[in-house]
Every structure is written in C-alpha cells, then in structure tokens.
C-alpha cells in the first residue's frame, strides 16, 4: 500500500512556477520545526490568533508535531485542515493552510492562513502561495468563498490579502497578549481572485472522493 492511497491528502501537490505546495507529512516536521525555531515573526509582534510561537522554545517542536497529527486525526469531509508545506526549488520556506470549519459540502467556504520563515519574507512568496491555494480552492475543490483574517497592524498579511483580491468583511475585537487587538475579517470570491501563475495540481481525485465531492 502507498501512503497516498491510505491518506489521499498526502497525494495532493499544487505547483506554481518554482513553488510546490504539498500537504505536510510527519517527515516534513524536522524541516518545519527548524524554520519555526529560526523565527517566523518579530518576537515583539504576535501575528497569530492562537499564539503558538509564544510557547517556550523547548516545547515548540513537540507542540508542532501534535498540531500536525491533529490535522489528520480531526479530518472529515465537513471539517478539515490542509496544511501545505511550501517549497521553493525544493527548499521548505513555510506553510500555506486551507481549512473548512463548517460542513464544506454545503457552505463551500474555506479559510486561509499562512506563515513563512522570516528569512523568506518580502520576496513575493506569500502572495504567490496564497494565489496558488485560492486557485486550487475555487477550481478544484469548488469553493464559493474563502475567508481569512489578520490583525489590523499586520501590514504584510493585509497587503497580501489585498493584492490577492480579498475584501474587508468586518472587524473583530480580540485579546492578544492581554491587550485588545482588532482583527480585520476578509472574504474572497472567485470573481475577485487576482490570479498568479497558472497552477498544476496532482492527486486531487482521491481527495475529492474522500471529501464526498467527486463529480463522477
Ligand atoms: C504574511 C506573510 C506570509 C507574507 O509573506 P511575504 O512573502 O512576506 O509577502 P509578499 O512579499 O508576497 O508581500 C508582502 C507585501 O506587504 C508589504 N508590506 C511589507 N511590510 C509592510 C507593512 N509594515 N505595512 C504594509 N505593507 C507592508 C510589501 O510591500 C508587500 O507588498 P508589495 O508587493 O505590494 O510591495 C509573511 O509576512 C509572514 O509569514 N508573516 C508572519 C506570519 C503572519 O503574519 N502570518 C499571517 C497571520 S494572519
């Protein structure tokens, strides 16, 4: 048996130019943990709603492995999390996530979230990987809308969302490091998507079958 037959998400790849997005496997964990420990953001600024990068340094590796394991354990057609490891010319640079939180077959709504190791920021990768995963969500999974969110003071994330075509969808008052912070909610429709490079997708059919979305 191949692992991709046992677990269809592992068979999915999205290629966009020199970027390849593949659903993260346990074998990617060491590289990803090294990226996280090298730094994902300025330690004085917390970009994430769940502040996982604030955990004590020695706890981050195990926490990350447990998080990835939960994406497999918690996977169902109505609620799933695809955490794509993004590689540029084979080198892991970060994660592009795509999640369904409320019966996807009915709502057709997905949510994006992403991070890059700090040394890869500001090179256009964040924009390209978001464009690639959104094209996959609309063209292959049949999403109707894609939501996202970023703190108002997260300039790069807001800029990426704007460039990709997301529109503001309200403000949410949140707690961040014991302070009030405002999250900009965002929504993207297929008509608004500013597409990037063409994408090539492999391994989608078994995933569609697993999600109960096959058209045949
Ligand atoms: C968000 C993130 C994935 C963006 O990736 P990236 O590769 O750096 O983004 P890009 O290079 O494609 O685009 C960044 C854009 O932000 C702009 N930008 C950078 N700093 C900015 C700031 N302080 N304010 C406003 N815009 C800013 C850049 O000018 C660029 O826009 P441009 O191409 O029009 O010039 C990356 O910054 C990251 O991993 N951040 C830490 C984790 C994070 O915040 N994740 C999102 C949580 S909501």
CA of 175 to the centre of ligand 1 (A): 22
- Taking each helix axis from N to C end, the angle separating 155-164 and 125-139, rounded to the nearest 10 degrees, works out to 40
Q: Cα–Cα distance between 175 and 97 in angstroms, integer?
A: 23
Q: What is the pLDDT of residues 52-96, one digit of tens each?
A: 999 999 999 999 999 999 999 999 999 999 999 999 999 999 999
CA 45 to chain centre: 20
Q: Cα–Cα distance between 134 and 194 in angstroms, integer?
A: 10
pTM attached to this predicted model: 0.97
What's the mean pLDDT in 193-207? 98
Q: Which atom of ligand 1 is nearest to the CA of 163?
A: 34
Q: What is the DSSP letter of 58?
A: G
215 pLDDT more than 80: no
Q: What is the pLDDT of residues 107-132, one digit of tens each?
A: 999 999 999 999 999 999 999 999 99
From start to end of the chain, where are the E strands? 13-16, 19-23, 80-88, 91-100, 109-116, 145-151, 167-176, 179-189, 200-202
Contacts of 193 by beta carbon, 8 Å cutoff, 6+ apart: 131, 134, 135, 138, 164, 165
Is residue 137 classed exposed, middle or buried when 0-12, 13-18 and 19+ CB atoms within 10 A define those classes? buried
- C-alpha to C-alpha distances, 93 to 82, 86, 193, nearest whole angstrom: 17, 6, 24
8 Å CB contact between 20 and 197: no
CA of 216 to the centre of ligand 1 (A): 40
- What structural domains does the chain harbor? 3-142 (3.40.630.30)
Q: Cα–Cα distance between 41 and 92 in angstroms, integer?
A: 17
The verdict on the CB of residue 40 being under 6 Å from ligand 1 is yes
- Say what the pLDDT of residue 214 is: 83
The verdict on the CB of residue 162 being under 6 Å from ligand 1 is no
Element containing residue 71 per DSSP (H, E): helix 60-73
Within 10 Å of residue 155's Cβ, how many Cβ atoms? 10
């Amino acid at each position: 048996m191949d692992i991709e037959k046992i677990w269809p998400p592992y068979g999915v790849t999205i290629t966009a130019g020199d970027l390849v997005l593949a659903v993260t496997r346990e074998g990617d964990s060491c590289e990803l943990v090294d990226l996280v420990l090298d730094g994902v953001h300025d330690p004085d600024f917390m970009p994430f709603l769940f502040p996982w990068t604030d955990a004590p340094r020695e706890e981050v590796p195990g926490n990350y492995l447990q998080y990835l394991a939960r994406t497999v354990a918690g996977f169902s057609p109505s609620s799933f999390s695809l955490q794509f490891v993004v590689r540029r010319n084979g080198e892991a640079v970060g994660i592009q996530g795509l999640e369904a939180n409320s019966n996807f077959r009915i709502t057709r709504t997905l949510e994006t979230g992403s991070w890059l190791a700090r040394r890869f920021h500001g090179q256009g990768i964040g924009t390209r990987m978001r464009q690639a995963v959104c094209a996959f969500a609309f063209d292959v999974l049949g999403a109707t809308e894609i939501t996202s969110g970023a703190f108002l003071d997260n300039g790069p994330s807001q800029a990426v969302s704007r460039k990709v075509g997301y529109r503001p969808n309200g403000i949410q008052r949140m707690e961040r490091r014991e302070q009030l912070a405002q999250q900009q909610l965002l929504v993207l429709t297929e008509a608004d998507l500013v597409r990037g490079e063409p994408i090539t997708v492999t391994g989608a059919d078994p995933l569609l079958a697993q999600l109960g979305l096959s058209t045949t």
